[in-house]
A and B are shown apart, each in its own frame.
Chain A
């Protein structure tokens, strides 16, 4: 019995390792082991490669001001400047990652909808879109603001050409009347 159990454990670990090796080259392998993938047991070890992220993605918003037109573009503070203690303590990296995953997910959904030639507004029902609206609507507003739009933009903040490229514009969402 003990011998059988030992060989069962060895076989499981060897198979698991082989799956991990293969999955580094073939993304589809994880789809055959959905529970293990979901639990993070089929890791992806390609950090910042082969296509490294070389831009910051920013969340901005602007308000509709009744008859006065549109307010100015304002940043939602999603990126914190580096501090020395981030080498030891950096909870902000969790928020960065959540925001990064939400934006990637939203952009993939928009691409997919456009490839299928469907109305892009369907992404308004997606969790990433709803999360972005929630984030933007939490920001302070002037009494004159009646609705708010969020915008995703990217820039290379410390680069030699720090321009900003707009990636996505949402619909305007009305504030609830108090």
Chain B
């Protein structure tokens, strides 16, 4: 198995394109809630905007039109990454638009709405956009992929380590507790893990084990790496199905070509 640098960028783009399209469309579908009279009225949320802030900043922070335009631009960039031609000029424009709009939305959303999937997309779009813009300098494109691959491995290792030091995760209580919530759980699955503490314990330790294994991902043999990435993808699919966290599947999978590229560089 060998992934070239251009193929890695294209694959990252295609998969990230799905993540960007879905997340932008989801937010566009909630636009009415951020309008005057909506439950998350932006004027109320922007109460914290300083009264001395310049009029342009206040407009961008409070009005719905800039939010709608930025989401639409991000959605378009996502479609270009997903379906557009492989030509460098299109990729540069799409990654840069996605990065700039992601920054603007992050600035605008003072009170959340974002999770680890959005963090991964911020890292991906910023890094790959910058490295494509500087791609005429030798080595920069590769450096971008190494960074994204290393960042994805850091994400899994950190998540695994944080669970390893947690008494709730080591005892199996964490899975039982999380799946017992309406926000992130499913009643039938909650009832199953409550009846079976051994199942909950096995699930907790299974997650800890595969996440912690990512510390070796940059140096694993190709078959072992593909198996690990397969397990991780399956985990994200299960999380999407049971917890409704659909964004993690696409945004983390978008980093996998970069993990493979990093692994190739270190093992060849």
Q: Do A and B bind each other?
A: yes
Q: In terms of DSSP, what is the predominant structure of the interface of chain B?
A: helix
Indicate if A68 sits at the interface (CB-CB under 8 A).
Answer: no
A52 to B22, CA, bound (A): 27
B138 engages A2 (CB within 8 Å): yes
Indicate if A79 sits at the interface (CB-CB under 8 A).
Answer: yes
Q: Which of A26-34, A98-106, A142-150, A163-171 contacts B (4 or more CB under 8 A)?
A: A98-106
Indicate if A49 sits at the interface (CB-CB under 8 A).
Answer: yes
A38 to B106, CA, bound (A): 8
Indicate if A6 sits at the interface (CB-CB under 8 A).
Answer: yes
Q: Mark B175-202, 1 if CB is under 8 A from A, else 0.
A: 0111111111111001100100000000
In angstroms, how far is the closest chain B Cβ from the Cβ of A55?
6
How many residues of A are in contact with the other chain, CB < 8 A? Answer: 61
A134 engages B22 (CB within 8 Å): no
B194 engages A160 (CB within 8 Å): yes
Q: Mark A37-69, 1 if CB is under 8 A from B, else 0.
A: 011110111111111111110000000000000
| Cβ contact of B159, chosen from A5, A49, A79, A90, cutoff 8 A | A49
Residues of B within 8 A of A48 (CB): 163, 174, 178
Indicate if B72 sits at the interface (CB-CB under 8 A).
Answer: no
A128 to B40, CA, bound (A): 11
Residues of A within 8 A of B106 (CB): 38-40
B182 engages A81 (CB within 8 Å): yes
Residues of B within 8 A of A81 (CB): 182
New contact pairs (10) apart from A46-B159, A157-B182, CB-CB < 8 Å: A43-B122, A49-B159, A54-B178, A82-B186, A94-B27, A98-B112, A128-B111, A131-B45, A135-B39, A159-B190
Q: Which 9 A-B pairs have the closest CB atoms?
A: A54-B177, A101-B112, A49-B162, A50-B166, A86-B244, A45-B158, A158-B190, A46-B162, A40-B122
Q: Which residues of B contact A (CB under 8 A)?
A: 22, 26-27, 29-30, 33, 39-41, 44-45, 47-48, 102-103, 106-107, 109-116, 118-120, 122-123, 126-127, 131, 134, 136-140, 143-144, 146-147, 150-151, 154-156, 158-159, 162-163, 165-166, 168-169, 173-174, 176-187, 190-191, 194, 237, 240-242, 244-247
Q: Which residues of A contact B (CB under 8 A)?
A: 2, 5-6, 9-10, 13, 16-17, 20-21, 24, 38-41, 43-56, 79, 81-82, 86-98, 100-102, 105, 127-128, 130-131, 134-135, 138, 156-160
